[in-house]
Amino acid sequence: MKNLEQTWRSILKEFDKEANLHAGQIVVIGCSTSEVAGRHIGTSGSEEIAETIYKGLEELQQKTGAALAFQCCEHLNRSLVVEEETAAVWRLPIVFAVPVPKAGGSMASYAYKHMKAPVLVERIEADAGIDIGDTFIGMHLKPVAVPVRVSEKQLGEAHVTLARTRPKLIGGVRAVYEEAE
């Protein structure tokens, strides 16, 4: 577990540097703890792995001020666990269920149990995202996702992909995209 924690901290450090996270942003996290453990998604959830991942994300949140959103599994329609305050600030549509390991997933279930005032929301448009174990978070990212490359491609046995978003470029042939100094 110590090696997993070190790898996770390394991934988060590089992600923070590349994504430029700050207050007023949301980061979506999709995570299969089963895949981290080397099993098929949805078969062997681990609260211990979820705890390690959650603690690292809490530190990232404290450092950057960005809000966290934990994607549930398909059994809860990929709804997201967020703090009630986050839902209010971003006017996110609240839905109701209580995520548990077999319906929601171990990561979302762990987040729900450890947040101050958790709620489920149906959808978001996050500014950045972390996908651990190919859980498909793309539906919850703002339209122009940009891959973030880090040196570690896996967490445990799970494939890890990261993204940030950027505003859409708008205009025609006369548009300028660099600010004059």
pLDDT tens track for 11-59: 999 999 999 999 999 999 999 999 999 898 888 899 999 999 999 999 9
Identify whether 38 is part of a domain: yes
- What domain count does the chain have? 1
Identify whether 89 is part of a domain: yes
Residue 80 structure tokens: 């997201």
Q: Which H or E element spans position 154?
A: strand 154-155
Identify whether 174 is part of a domain: no
Identify whether 173 is part of a domain: no
Identify whether 40 is part of a domain: yes
Residue 40 structure tokens: 């098929």
Q: Comparing C-alpha atoms, which of 163, 159, 121 is closest to residue 138?
A: 163
Distance separating alpha carbons of residues 117 and 5, to the nearest angstrom: 26
CATH number reported for the structural domain that contains residue 113 in this entry: 3.40.50.10360
pLDDT, tens digit (0-9, with 9 covering 90-100), for 117-142? 999 999 999 999 999 999 999 999 99
Identify whether 171 is part of a domain: no
Task: Decide: pTM greater than 0.75.
Answer: yes
Identify whether 177 is part of a domain: no
Task: Please tell me the predicted confidence (pLDDT) of residue 1.
Answer: 67
What domain range includes position 91? 2-165
Phi, psi torsion values for 16, nearest 5 degrees: -60, -45
Identify whether 85 is part of a domain: yes
Q: Which H or E element spans position 148?
A: strand 145-148
